Amino acid sequence: MKLLRQPVDLLQLSQMRLMQQVDAACLRRLVDRFETCEMAADEVLLSPHGINRFLYLLVDGELTVYLDSLDSQPLRLIEPCECVGEVSFIDRHPPSTYIVATQPSRLLRLHSREFAQLTTSPQLMQNLVDLLCERVRLGERLIINSEHNANVDMLTGVFNRRWLEHIFERERARCAFNQVPLCLLMLDVDRFKAYNDKHGHLAGDHALCLVARTLGSQLRPKDSLVRFGGEEFVILLPELGLHEARQIGERLLHSVEQIASFNTAIGLLPGVTISIGLAQLRAEDELEDLIDRADKALYQAKQQGRNRLCG
């Protein structure tokens, strides 16, 4: 970063978001306390590995925010008139993100020893509070999105194995309390390796997404569709006994089988079939026990010719 030996323009300062509607007398007191600096493209402004003692206002250029590392996906862009580093400027702890200049940029900066000067303006403090609230809400959204992504299979959009472990405990307790049964379907896309070998792995991904969409459209809101791994899916069916679960499984079989071909971004692809194993929860069962019995029933369905349900 290069410090420029030039006075800060009062009009320029007043245009910053943090200074919106701040009275002219306060701006005149502050203008001499700000410094102007320049950054080269790809230069790091803030990092979790260093202490930040400045509040930055971006005059021109562009900054990028990275959450975990400089190799991660950019979190967001910071454009002119925005504020940077306000949290670490106030609490004097290292920043929680990386801030990097995407292009040559010019900034105004205020040292933390001048913080008391900001408090003389109620409007400026209101602007700062609004900005901090915005940061908190952004953090909350990131947490929610992170938790959602941790429970969802990114290819098919259905729940993943981590979610199954969580929801099973909840549904087992609920079904036991209400004295209602709980069943599990374990299904596998038939001859999936051969499908991949013949049509390509991208085609296989499209086939898995087709299966997930088809199954999901047939289920109740209380049912849980999970991609268990590879071409295997698990469906948790609370409040259903073997007879009803078998009827649902047969319907799922037929709904997938009826799709002889489907359109994708890579062209028309042939459909697939599935095999299903069914098991009902016993009082002494853990999730592994239930899955093991459903998996054995699935193996039996494959041994009997595939595209069928056993259990």
Structure token digits, residue 181 = 């049964």
User: Do 2-150 and 161-310 come out as alike in CATH topology?
Assistant: no
| Distances in whole angstroms, Cα of residue 289 to Cα of each of 140, 154, 249, 282, 285 | 37, 27, 20, 9, 5
Residues 2 and 117: their CA atoms lie apart, in Å, by 25
Integer CA distances (angstroms), 292 to 101, 206, 235, 278, 295, in order: 53, 28, 14, 10, 5
- The reported pLDDT for the residue numbered 140 is 62
Pair 309, 246: CB distance under 8 Å: yes
The CATH class of 2-150 is: mainly beta
Structure token pair of residue 34: 């700000």
* d(C-alpha 230, C-alpha 246), whole Å: 24
Domains in the chain: boundaries: 2-150, 161-310
Q: Which CATH superfamily is domain 161-310 in?
A: Reverse transcriptase/Diguanylate cyclase domain (3.30.70.270)
- Binning the chain into helix, strand and coil, the percentages to the nearest 5 are 45, 25, 30
- Spatial distance between the Cα atoms of 142 and 75, rounded to a whole number of angstroms: 9
Total number of residues shown for the chain: 311
In Å, what is the CA distance from 118 to each residue of 8, 18, 21, 33?
17, 10, 14, 11
pLDDT tens digits in sequence order for the chain, 311 residues long: 999 988 889 999 999 999 999 999 899 989 989 999 999 999 999 999 989 999 999 999 999 998 877 877 787 889 999 999 998 988 889 998 899 999 999 999 999 998 888 888 899 999 888 888 887 777 666 655 555 567 788 888 888 888 898 889 999 999 999 999 999 999 999 999 999 999 999 999 999 999 999 999 999 889 999 999 899 999 999 999 999 999 999 999 999 999 999 999 899 999 999 999 999 999 999 999 999 999 999 999 999 999 999 99
Output the pLDDT for position 119: 85
Q: Alpha-carbon distance 131 to 112, whole Å?
A: 17
pLDDT attached to residue 71: 78
Looking at residue 203, what is its pLDDT? Answer: 94
DSSP alpha helices (H): ranges in 152-286?
A: 161-177, 192-199, 201-216, 242-257
Buried b (16+ CB within 10 A) or exposed e, 100-120: bbeeebbbbbbebeeeeebee
The residues carrying an active-site annotation are 231
Residue 80 near residue 103 (C-beta atoms within 8 A): no
What is the spatial distance between Cα 289 and Cα 294, in angstroms, rounded to a whole number?
A: 9
Report the pLDDT value the prediction gives residue 248, as an integer from 0 to 100. 95
Token code pair at residue 272 = 């697939």
* 107 to 4, 212, 235, 268: CA distances (angstroms): 10, 50, 55, 53
